[in-house]
Amino acid sequence: MIVYRSFFESLKGCEKTVQADVWNAIFEMGFNQKEIELEGLSKTLWLLIKPQIEANLKRFINGSKPKQKQNLSEKEAKPKQEVSKSEANNNNNNNNNNTIPTLDEFVAYGLVQLPDVSKDAIRLKYHSWISNDWSINIGGKTRKIKNWKSSLNNTLPYLQKEPQVELTQDQIFYNNVMRQINERNT
């Protein structure tokens, strides 16, 4: 039987009669596998300690049993698995993420995903992937791009952002006038 320090520490602050009742219950269960009926605080403490005592007893009983011998291995070899013929995976879905997009489609998608990224940076990335046979380099290994949108989404945060230029009052006025003129013409 194992007696834990936590048992001792939790009982140390109790009245001597409560301590005696709980210690008696612990030893009866541990040595004789008999449970004593308790009341009040003694019962409360016992209910907290009892599961640990029962688990230790179970481990002790299971450890006392002789181990069963393993079955002898079969002397005959099992038949070899038949070789399956490999068949091409005919993926007929309409997912166009694995086809190479046009430059305009590529740039437009990138700007929708991250509007403050530089158009020139997106164009450079497109031409880089085209010149590398639509492949990317990950950890020194080159692999074909299977889903260009996903690959671009993973790349966008690392591309150069458009510089944020502070406009003068004259430039703001000019932009507003030009916007109004364009709205009238359409």
DSSP secondary structure of the chain: ----HHHHHHHHTS-HHHHHHHHHHHHHHHHH--PPP--HHHHHHHHHHHHHHHHHHHHHHHHHSPPPPPPPPPSSPPPPPPPPPP---------GGGSPPPHHHHHHHHHHH-TTB-HHHHHHHHHHHHHTTSEEEETTEEEE-S-HHHHHHHHGGGSPBPP-PPPPHHHHHHHHHHHHHHHHH-
Which of 41, 50, 52 shows the shortest CA–CA distance to 16?
Answer: 41
Q: How confident is the model at residue 70 (pLDDT cuts 50, 70, 90)?
A: low
The pLDDT score that the predictor gives to residue 177 is: 86
pLDDT mean over 120-139: 90
Give pTM, 2 decimals. Answer: 0.39
pLDDT (0 to 100) of residue 169: 84
pLDDT of residue 83: 65
For residue range 79-99, list pLDDT tens digits in order.
777 766 655 555 554 555 668
**Band of the pLDDT at 41, cuts 50, 70, 90?**
very high
Contact (Cβ atoms closer than 8 angstroms) between residue 159 and residue 116: no
Mean pLDDT of the chain: 83
Q: Which long-range contacts (CB under 8 A, 24 or more apart) does 123-128 make?
A: 125/152, 125/155, 125/159
Give pLDDT, residue 159.
93
Query: Token pair of 61, please?
Result: 């009983």
